[in-house]
Amino acid sequence: MKKLYGLLGWPVAHSVSPAMMNAAFAELGIDAVYLAFAVPPADLRAALDGLLALGAGGVNITIPHKLGAYQWAPRHSDEARLAGAVNTLRLRPRSDADDPAAPEVIGHNTDVAGWWTSLRTVLPHAPKRVVILGAGGAARAALAGLALYAQSAEVVLTARNPQKAAETAASFQEYISVSLLPWREREQAVAAADLVVNATPMGMWPHDDVSPIDDETCLHPGQVVQDMVYRPLQTRLLRQAARRGAKRVDGLDMLVRQGAEAFEFWLGVSAPVDVMRQAARASLGL
């Protein structure tokens, strides 16, 4: 019987995940379908209970449900626990309840490994001085990645809301060194960093002319600049980084890799990453 997978968000109309996941199922001949479900926050628990009862194999979770999914999940992976958010759930269908080999319901966060593996394509060594711009879910995924894979990194977290920045930093103090910097002083820290991560939506369509960096002379060769924004692919920040000779990583690579991580977490087989990338690019009109 065809297996159901999907994405829960509010809204989800513009997601590239259905194209990416359905292309992966087709490539490997897996009898499954991936659908996007627009679920209002008040209905999240009912939707997840319903998908479990229907025997769905797993779901991705996007804004604004990552915390709600964390609270719903009975168990969590280390990545989800560190990030304090769930973007992928593996579901154990009730019909498989007597099968001890059936996967249990577990909340995971594939943004963490997706972020890290995307970064590794241009930064083979662990970063030493990192600046993270923003203090929301994407910043938490990056901090969790550093806590798992680069504990010796010195991290500067800067965000326009100092209280939120302090709360986010506090959740990671036990694992890595995170210092806070006022948002208006961020370019000083960027100049001293070997890795700069934009974890804000600044520069995202339709605000293509916006960048989190005003004075681009703080960017330089020998530095990696990673933008989590993927629409447009070449953000203003990445264009600034190119002019300044810095290495660049776009948000599409992370998007594809977090999807591939979810696919492998559900199915236990290697994801066809290139096919998923092509499908994601086509879905974005690239």
For binding to ligand NAP (CB under 6 A), which residues are involved? 63, 111, 114, 134-139, 159-161, 164, 199-202, 204, 228-230, 251, 254-255, 258
Q: Which residue has the tokens 């509010």?
A: 10
The minimum distance between CB 142 and ligand NAP, in angstroms, equals 9
- Residue 64: asked if its preceding bond is cis (omega within 30°), the reply is yes
Cβ proximity to ligand NAP: between 93 and 213 the closer is 213
The minimum distance between CB 159 and ligand NAP, in angstroms, equals 4
Asked whether 227 and 234 are in contact (CB, 8 A), the reply is no
Asked whether 33 and 87 are in contact (CB, 8 A), the reply is no
Cβ proximity to ligand NAP: between 93 and 178 the closer is 178
Structural tokens at position 101: 């080999």
Query: Which residues, 6+ apart, have CB-to-CB distance to 186 below 8 Å?
Result: 131, 133, 158, 212, 213
Cβ proximity to ligand NAP: between 105 and 233 the closer is 233
Q: Which of 66, 128, 164, 247 is catalytic?
A: 66
The minimum distance between CB 9 and ligand NAP, in angstroms, equals 11
The minimum distance between CB 185 and ligand NAP, in angstroms, equals 14
Cβ proximity to ligand NAP: between 103 and 201 the closer is 201
Structural tokens at position 249: 């990583």
Three-state DSSP at 51 gives helix
Query: Which residues, 6+ apart, have CB-to-CB distance to 274 below 8 Å?
Result: none
**Residue at shortest CB range from ligand NAP:** 136
C-alpha 191/C-alpha 69 separation (Å) is 38
Active site residue 66: yes
Q: What are the catalytic residues?
A: 66
